[in-house]
Amino acid sequence: MKKGILIVGDENEIGMKLLEQQLSERLKRRDYPVEGEYFWPGEKETGVFRFRQKGHERVLSTDWILYLEKDMRRIFVHLENGVKISFYGRMEEVLEQLGKRFCQCHKSYVVNLDKVLGMTETSFHLKGGAEIPIGQRRHGKVSLCYKEHKEQKNLEKLRFFESFSCFEM
């Protein structure tokens, strides 16, 4: 199946040819937004994650990330909407950007603690049904990290409701 762009309109033919030529040049350079390659965070997003993919810098909202998975030198970013993005990098460099709400629970996995529904002795259960393993050596540190994160979220909720005079605590 051949992919392309169909331009429909009743504008003058010279203008249409010029537009078609400009679009054709952009497609050849691959600097156009392609689904799965460019993600622009909104204003209300709490953080951004920058990475290089196919020679271009990409920007991704950390609010969209469920978890990250490492396989050799390749890192896969799993998003809430089911999209999976891959790029080459080091997990240590990625963790530096992500912040405290992300926890490395296994040698190959990092989870967004905001997306965790529950935790067992061996795994995290995330929104969307994903189950991420917890490494045996990391279990103590991970459970402490998860507990602190839950307490912080509960404190934020309490402060939010206290800010309204109609709610009594």
Six token digits for residue 113: 């603690």
How confident is the model at residue 1, as a pLDDT?
Answer: 45
| pLDDT value of position 31 | 35
DSSP class of residue 115 equals: G
| Any domain includes 168 | no
CATH number at residue 89: 2.40.50.1020
Residue 29 lies inside a defined structural domain of this protein: no
Is residue 31 assigned to a domain? no
- The answer for residues whose C-beta is within 8 angstroms of residue 53's C-beta and 6 or more apart is 37, 85, 86, 87
Query: Both tokens of residue 77?
Result: 């970013």
Q: Enumerate residue ranges in the chain where pLDDT < 50.
A: 1-3, 29-38
Task: Write down the pTM of the prediction.
Answer: 0.69
Total number of domains in the chain:
1
Is the Cβ–Cβ distance between 132 and 106 less than 8 Å? yes
Kindly state whether residue 36 falls inside one of the protein's structural domains: no
Residue 56 lies in a domain: yes
- Neighbour count for residue 134 (Cβ, 10 Å): 22
- The per-residue pLDDT for 167 is 54
| The pLDDT of residue 45 | 54
Q: How many CA atoms lie within 13 A of 98 on its CB side?
A: 24
pLDDT at position 48: 81
Looking at residue 107, its pLDDT comes to 92
CA 134 to CA 93: how far, in whole Å? Answer: 21
Q: Write down the pLDDT at residue 67.
A: 95
Is 21 domain-assigned?
Answer: no
